[in-house]
Amino acid sequence: MSQGGPTSWRQALNNELQRPGVNKAVEYRCTADGPLHQQLWTAIAYIDGEEYGIGERLLSKDGAKEQAAKSAYLRYMKPH
C-alpha cells in the first residue's frame, strides 16, 4: 500500500472486525469473467452478510479481494 495505508487492507479490515466488543465476520465472494489468459476478477466483501465493498482486478483474484477489502474498510470506518 502507498500513501501511508496499511500493508494489507484485508488484514486491516479483519483486525478491525475482530476487536473486542465488535466480533464481526467478513466474507469475500469472487467471480471471473473472460478468457483464462485475460480474466477480470470481481470480488465483493460482505460484513455480517451486508455488501460493503467491491473490487476488480485483471488476472488477479487476490488483487480484487484486496481492492474490495480497501473499499469495505473505508466504508466501515466512516463515522455513522
What pLDDT does 7 receive?
84
Give a yes or no: residue 2 inside a domain: no
pLDDT over threshold 70, residue 3: no
Give a yes or no: residue 1 inside a domain: no
Q: What is the pLDDT of residues 9-51, one digit of tens each?
A: 999 999 999 999 999 999 999 999 999 999 999 999 999 999 9
**Which residue range forms the structural domain that includes residue 56?**
9-77
The answer to whether the beta carbons of residues 31 and 23 sit under 8 Å apart is no
Q: Which DSSP string do the residues of 23-69 spell out, in sequence order?
A: ---EEEEEEEES-GGG-EEEEEEEETTEEEEEEEEET-HHHHHHHHH
CATH of the domain at 58: 3.30.160.20
Give a yes or no: residue 71 inside a domain: yes
- Our count of domains for the chain comes to 1
Q: Is 58 exposed, middle or buried (0-12, 13-18, 19+ CB in 10 A)?
A: exposed
